[in-house]
Amino acid sequence: MSSVKKELFAVIARAGKALGHPHRLELLELLAQGPRPVEALARALGASVATTSHHLQQLRQAGLAVGEKRGKQVVYRLSGEDVAALLIQLRSVAEAHLAEVQALVRDHLEARDALEPVPADVLLERARTGEVLVLDVRPPEEYAAGHLPGAVNVPLEELEARLAELPEDREVVAYCRGPHCVLAFEAVARLREAGRQARRLEGGLPEWRRAGLPVEAGEPVSDANRMGDGQTVERP
Q: Do 179 and 152 meet the contact criterion of CB atoms below 8 Å apart?
A: no
Examine the residue annotation and report whether 181 is marked as an active-site residue of this protein. Answer: no
Question: CA–CA separation, 146 vs 162, rounded Å?
Answer: 22
152, 176, 183, 227: the catalytic one is 176
Residues catalogued as catalytic:
176
